[in-house]
């Protein structure tokens, strides 16, 4: 009978150790990959500006040496806005994956985040349209102007700057029709963004330049005739600048809504499948906790002796905790000292190593907790034994 009892207790202890090994991995996944807070925090550590700089190099033309600086400032300005919307989208998706919502419809998620008027409004407020658009426009118009005008890029940038509030207002107003078309909530798209404010401001700036500092080939023209000559010149030149920018299906593409709808459908199907597997995972996670609880209960009911119970529970906890903790320590050391990723930028390599560390941290804390708990239980078993022996004597 004692043999069968010890055999049963040994089997239960072994199953407990084996279950702890499986549960440790599941605990790590549940605390990281299936935790939206972890995912958001890891993405938040990504420096978008550094990544763009690593993968994309924009060489500013000599005429606009400040272009790269303007782009960097724009990216830095919109980074918090983008991260905020990414976080909102991630939490919405995880609500579905973890069973808190029943609908995987991604279109409303996009409509409430990146494809919302509020986001576009905040975005255009951070974008320096005059610096970005002025740099490209000045190059194009310089070729169309038959005269050499000093500081043309400055005049164009100033003109766009003065017209910027009107342009931004029109861009925000155009957002909803564009998004409705992209998400197939509207079958047509026809939005006009007026460029008249830019043209009017540009005319005033160029006229001032003509009157105060005319091109060398026109310096001999009497001041009284300069404005008349400018009007003739500008009438031809202004034809190069359209009065409106027409945004319709041909600009975005007639197949864009269908492509987006197809991509969203495929993504939703993938989310449905992922939710199904996550459901299995959560069920197994709960069942494993119940199973381990039954193993502990079985050890207690079969043994019914405190010193034996604490020892039989402490040994598998201590062995697993020590083994897992040592393994994690070695893995982190190997990752930090031995592993190199030559094909990715240094910044992303650093982020990857830190991500792996953060991924393993829950398992590290779990194994350390079990190691300490196991050691305490074993100590209690010996202390209890000595106390019992002393009282019997």
DSSP 38-77: HHHHHHHT--HHHHHHHH------TT-TTHHHHHHHHHHH
Sign of the Cα torsion 259, 264, 269, 270 reads positive
pLDDT of residue 290: 96
Phi, psi of 57 (to 5 degrees): -115, 120
Same structural domain, 24 and 42: no
Residue at 269 is within a domain: no
Q: Distance between CA atoms of 366 and 354, rounded to whole angstroms?
A: 19
User: Residues 6 or more apart from 176 whose CB is under 8 A from it?
Assistant: 117
Same structural domain, 104 and 140: no
Q: Coil, strand or helix: which one is 194?
A: strand
pLDDT of residue 25: 94
Same structural domain, 239 and 142: yes
End position of a domain, from candidates 254, 277, 301 = 254
pLDDT of residue 392: 40
Q: Distance between CA atoms of 393 and 385, rounded to whole angstroms?
A: 12
Residue at 268 is within a domain: no
Better-predicted residue by pLDDT, 281 or 118: 281
Same structural domain, 185 and 303: no
pTM over 0.85: no
Q: Distance between CA atoms of 312 and 10, rounded to whole angstroms?
A: 8
Residue at 276 is within a domain: no
Same structural domain, 236 and 146: yes
Average pLDDT, the chain: 82
Phi, psi of 116 (to 5 degrees): -115, 150
For 128-184, the pLDDT digits (tens) are 776 666 656 666 565 656 556 666 667 777 777 888 888 888 889 989 999 999 999
End position of a domain, from candidates 254, 273, 302 = 254
Total count of residues recorded for the chain: 393
Q: Distance between CA atoms of 357 and 364, rounded to whole angstroms?
A: 10
Same structural domain, 303 and 226: no
For 103-116, the pLDDT digits (tens) are 888 999 998 888 88
For 280-333, the pLDDT digits (tens) are 999 999 999 999 999 999 999 998 888 889 999 999 999 999 999 999 988 888
Residue at 12 is within a domain: yes
Residue at 282 is within a domain: no
- Asked whether the predicted pLDDT for residue 393 surpasses 50, the reply is no
| Total domain count, the chain | 3
Same structural domain, 14 and 48: no
Same structural domain, 108 and 158: no
For 158-170, the pLDDT digits (tens) are 777 888 888 888 8
End position of a domain, from candidates 231, 254, 277 = 254
Residue at 280 is within a domain: no
Residue at 270 is within a domain: no
Question: Residue written as tokens 């590290």?
Answer: 364
**Which residues constitute the domain of residue 95?**
36-124
Residue at 261 is within a domain: no
- Asked whether the predicted pLDDT for residue 52 surpasses 70, the reply is no
Tokens of 242: 């359209």
Same structural domain, 47 and 78: yes
Same structural domain, 178 and 246: yes
pLDDT of residue 5: 82
Q: Which range (2-16, 30-44, 142-156, 213-227) has the least confidence?
A: 142-156
Helices 67-97 and 48-55, axial angle in degrees (round to 10):
120
Same structural domain, 116 and 161: no
Question: For 62-71, what is the mean pLDDT?
Answer: 54
């Amino acid at each position: 009978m004692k043999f069968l009892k010890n055999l049963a207790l040994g089997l239960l202890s072994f199953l407990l150790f084996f279950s702890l090994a499986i549960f440790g991995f599941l605990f790590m996944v549940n605390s990281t990959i299936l935790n939206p807070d972890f995912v958001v925090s890891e993405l938040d550590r990504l420096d978008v500006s550094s990544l763009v700089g690593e993968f994309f190099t924009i060489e500013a033309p000599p005429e606009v040496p400040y272009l790269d600086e303007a782009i960097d400032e724009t990216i830095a300005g919109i980074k918090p806005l983008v991260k905020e919307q990414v976080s909102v989208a991630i939490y919405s998706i995880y609500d579905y994956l973890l069973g808190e919502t029943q609908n995987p419809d991604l279109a409303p998620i996009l409509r409430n985040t990146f494809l919302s008027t509020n986001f576009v409004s905040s975005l255009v407020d951070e974008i320096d349209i005059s610096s970005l658009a002025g740099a490209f426009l000045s190059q194009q118009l310089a070729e169309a102007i038959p005269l050499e005008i000093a500081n043309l890029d400055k005049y164009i940038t100033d003109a766009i700057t003065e017209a910027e509030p009107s342009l931004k207002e029109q861009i925000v107003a155009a957002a909803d029709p564009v998004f409705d078309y992209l998400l197939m909530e509207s079958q047509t798209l026809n939005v006009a963004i007026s460029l008249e404010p830019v043209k009017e401001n540009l005319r005033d700036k160029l006229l001032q330049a003509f009157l105060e500092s005319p091109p060398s080939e026109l310096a001999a023209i009497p001041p009284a005739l300069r404005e008349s000559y400018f009007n003739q010149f500008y009438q031809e030149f202004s034809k190069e600048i359209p009065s409106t920018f027409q945004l319709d299906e041909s600009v975005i593409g007639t197949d864009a809504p269908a492509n987006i709808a197809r991509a969203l459908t495929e993504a939703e199907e993938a989310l449905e499948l992922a939710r199904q597997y996550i459901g299995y995972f959560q069920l197994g996670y709960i069942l494993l906790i119940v199973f381990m609880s039954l193993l502990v209960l079985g050890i207690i009911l079969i043994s019914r002796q405190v010193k034996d119970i604490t020892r039989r529970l402490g040994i598998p906890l201590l062995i697993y905790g020590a083994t897992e903790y040592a393994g994690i320590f070695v893995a982190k050391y190997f990752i930090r000292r031995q592993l190199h990723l030559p094909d990715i930028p240094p910044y992303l390599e650093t982020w990857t190593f830190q991500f792996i560390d953060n991924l393993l941290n829950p398992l590290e804390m779990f194994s350390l907790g079990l190691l300490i708990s196991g050691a305490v239980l074993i100590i209690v078993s010996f202390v209890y034994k000595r106390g019992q022996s002393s009282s019997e004597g």
